[in-house]
């Protein structure tokens, strides 16, 4: 207990110190929410990765999908790395940084408002972000409850409140720079922690080969794929017992990041070209280790098939699987796991509340009820709203109603379904119209929310993936049949990509002039 408490005290102390150290980088709105667009490659890469993966992934998703798909769930982690990180940086990173600076936009709804000359799009986008980010924020706490119940004899509610207070202190004090610095520290902890945990769990099962052999003996008799029922070896197979279901999870958790405001926001703050190149490599490596490691670990969950992971009605409590796997570890490793999950959770939480507060302040309040708000007042209101959002998420996490619990599951699908297609197309094509953005909003939110009640797609995961794909199809179609934007305005926006720059020969192989 002493070891675990000391690790927590050191961890919390460092987080708070970073917050107050970063106050000098948060003296105006641009610095507070973007770090002055001067955040270096390593901080940006780790900020992206740590915002991507939280306790939801480590405890909830790793346990749930590892149980359902076995070792094939590792594909989810690899999809997160190569689609959610590598491709996201290659496709969105540089263009997002260039165009958002040209438009002087600081949030995703602000981008929609200026790119498509529509205050209504900006306000509607901020409303969508607010509605679906807050429940997602509260869901982050869920993965901590069982881990703290396993490791400490203290009420989960106390831990939840302490964690929320500490996150609030360093985000309110230091803004984006404090978040980025803490994300870097938390990311280092996550990298070493996940490697140590995987090695310890496999060692407890007699090693990797023996664990895989034991997994291959388990029949897939409870997977809803009739053709594969009763087969053995599927949980240790290449694509697992349900390849189609697995694909839906890969799409949602990988492609979904392209449309999440708190993820795309990281590209706004990139410092320079070096930050783009280094950030692409580092964030991909980070995702391979963290996401690949989490889902790989979860794939062995069925080897811990004990009564503690079942509810009274006989169904599996997926959130109990990973804590049960970790319960036999030495105290030092359990302490590392607690700090690991706290790191993952606090980094994602800080990113979410910063995104929520800046969106509501700049895209809603400033555009509707308080139009003459100066820079100082914006900064004050954002800090107040950060505290408000943290309190609200704590209240929801303490006693989550059924509707909110369902909403948390579809938040990624709704956000990415609404934002992904118009954001990405808007960076590349002059032909995208405001009507197409509205269509994407309606399809993304409408499909995922209506599916909550009508359940025309059985899995909420597949519904979210369908919403994203639908947006990618709808936006070009609607753009083709609706009035174009003013040509001169759009040409002026895209001129930012044509600005000539001089680079060293080592960075470019273009032909020399004769």
What pLDDT digit, counting tens, does each position of 243-275 carry? Answer: 888 988 898 889 988 999 888 988 888 877 778
Going by C-alpha positions, the residue among 333, 253, 204 that lies closest to residue 62 is: 253
- Hey, is 299 helix, strand or coil? coil
Which of 107-111, 318-322, 369-373: highest mean pLDDT?
107-111
Tell me which of 296 and 172 has the higher pLDDT: 296
Instruction: List helix spans (H) across 140-229.
Output: 142-151, 156-204, 208-216
Residues in contact with 127: Cβ distance below 8 Å, sequence separation at least 6, in sequence order: 364
Domain annotation covers residue 513: no
Based on the fold, state whether residues 344 and 488 are members of the same structural domain.
no
Based on the fold, state whether residues 338 and 364 are members of the same structural domain.
yes
Query: What average pLDDT does the segment 281-291 reach?
Result: 93
Give exposure, 207-235, as e/b (b: 16+ Cβ within 10 Å). Answer: eeeebbebbeebebeebeeeebeeeeebb
Based on the fold, state whether residues 231 and 347 are members of the same structural domain.
yes
Give exposure, 281-303, as e/b (b: 16+ Cβ within 10 Å). Answer: ebbbbbbbbbbbbbbbbbbbbbb
Helix (DSSP H) and strand (DSSP E) numbers for the chain = 23, 0
Based on the fold, state whether residues 272 and 349 are members of the same structural domain.
yes
Based on the fold, state whether residues 279 and 310 are members of the same structural domain.
yes
Domain annotation covers residue 505: no
Based on the fold, state whether residues 452 and 484 are members of the same structural domain.
yes
Q: How many CB atoms lie within 10 A of CB 454?
A: 8
Tell me which of 242 and 427 has the higher pLDDT: 427
For the stretch 458-493, pLDDT in tens is 877 788 889 999 999 999 999 999 999 999 999 999
pTM, two decimal places: 0.85
pLDDT band at 315 (very low <50, low <70, confident <90, very high): confident
For the stretch 147-158, pLDDT in tens is 666 666 667 777
Domain annotation covers residue 333: yes
The number of domains in the chain is: 2
Based on the fold, state whether residues 415 and 387 are members of the same structural domain.
no
Range in 122-131, 239-248, 396-405 the model is least confident about: 396-405
Domain annotation covers residue 275: yes
φ/ψ region of 396 (left if φ > 0, alpha if ψ in -120 to 50, else beta) reads: alpha
Q: What is the pLDDT of residue 409?
A: 64
Whether 457 shows a pLDDT value over 60: the answer reads yes
Residues in contact with 392: Cβ distance below 8 Å, sequence separation at least 6, in sequence order: 134, 138
What separation in angstroms does the CA of 366 have from each of 31, 59, 360, 392, 467? Answer: 18, 38, 8, 22, 30
Among 339, 373, 398, give the residue marking a domain's end.
398
Based on the fold, state whether residues 273 and 334 are members of the same structural domain.
yes
Kindly state the tokens that stand for 24.
């000098």
Domain annotation covers residue 208: yes
Q: What is the pLDDT of residue 147?
A: 65
Beta bridge partners of 232: 219
Q: What is the pLDDT of residue 419?
A: 96
For the stretch 386-401, pLDDT in tens is 888 888 878 877 775 5
For the stretch 194-210, pLDDT in tens is 888 899 889 988 999 99
Q: Could you identify the residue written with the tokens 């929609």?
A: 112
Based on the fold, state whether residues 449 and 348 are members of the same structural domain.
no
Contact 417, 448 (CB under 8 A): yes
Range of the domain at 431: 401-494
Residues in contact with 355: Cβ distance below 8 Å, sequence separation at least 6, in sequence order: 107, 129, 133, 261, 262, 265
Give the CATH number of the domain where residue 9 resides: 1.20.1730.10
């Amino acid at each position: 207990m002493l070891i675990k408490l000391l690790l927590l005290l050191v961890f919390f102390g460092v987080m708070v110190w970073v917050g107050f150290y970063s106050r000098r980088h948060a003296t105006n709105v641009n610095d507070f929410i973007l770090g002055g667009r001067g955040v270096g490659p390593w901080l940006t890469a780790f900020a992206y990765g740590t915002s991507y993966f939280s306790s939801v992934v480590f405890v909830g998703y790793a346990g749930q999908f590892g149980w359902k798909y076995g070792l094939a769930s590792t594909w989810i982690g690899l999809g997160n790395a190569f689609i959610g990180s590598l491709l996201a940086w290659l496709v969105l990173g540089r263009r997002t940084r260039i165009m958002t600076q040209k438009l002087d936009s600081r949030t995703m709804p602000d981008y929609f408002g200026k790119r498509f000359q529509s205050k209504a799009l900006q306000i509607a986008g901020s409303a969508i972000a607010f509605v679906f980010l807050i429940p997602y924020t509260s869901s982050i706490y869920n993965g901590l409850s069982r881990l703290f119940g396993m490791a400490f004899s203290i009420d989960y509610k106390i831990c939840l409140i302490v964690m929320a207070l500490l996150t609030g202190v360093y985000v309110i004090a230091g803004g984006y720079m404090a978040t980025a610095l803490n994300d870097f520290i938390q990311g280092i902890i996550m990298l070493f922690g996940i490697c140590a945990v995987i090695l310890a769990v496999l060692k407890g099962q007699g090693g990797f080969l023996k664990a895989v052999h034991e997994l291959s003996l388990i029949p897939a008799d409870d997977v809803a794929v009739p053709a594969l029922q009763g087969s053995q070896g599927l949980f240790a197979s290449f694509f697992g017992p349900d390849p189609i279901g697995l694909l839906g999870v890969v799409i949602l958790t990988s492609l979904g990041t392209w449309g999440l405001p708190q993820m795309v926001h990281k590209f706004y703050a990139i410092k320079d070209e070096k930050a783009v190149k280094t950030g692409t490599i580092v964030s991909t490596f980070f995702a391979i280790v963290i996401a690949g490691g989490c889902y790989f670990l979860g794939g062995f969950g069925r080897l811990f098939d004990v009564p503690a992971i079942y509810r009274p009605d006989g169904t599996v409590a997926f959130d109990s699987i990973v804590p049960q796997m970790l319960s036999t570890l030495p105290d030092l490793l359990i302490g590392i796991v607690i700090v690991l999950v706290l790191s993952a959770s606090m980094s994602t939480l800080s990113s979410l509340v910063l995104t929520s507060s800046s969106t509501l302040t700049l895209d809603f309040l400033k555009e509707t009820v308080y139009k003459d708000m100066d820079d100082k007042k914006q900064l004050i209101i954002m800090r107040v709203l950060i505290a408000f959002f943290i309190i609200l998420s704590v209240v929801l996490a303490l006693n989550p109603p059924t509707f909110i619990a369902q909403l948390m599951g579809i938040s990624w699908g709704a956000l990415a379904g609404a934002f992904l297609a118009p954001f990405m197309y808007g960076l590349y094509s002059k032909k995208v119209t405001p009507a197409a953005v509205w269509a994407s909003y309606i399809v993304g939110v409408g499909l995922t929310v209506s599916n909550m009640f009508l359940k025309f797609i059985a899995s909420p995961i597949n519904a979210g993936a369908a919403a994203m794909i639908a947006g990618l199809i709808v936006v070009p179609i609607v753009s083709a049949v609706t009035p174009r934007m003013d040509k001169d305005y759009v040409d002026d926006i895209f001129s930012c990509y044509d600005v000539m720059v001089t680079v060293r020969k080592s960075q470019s192989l273009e032909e020399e002039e004769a």
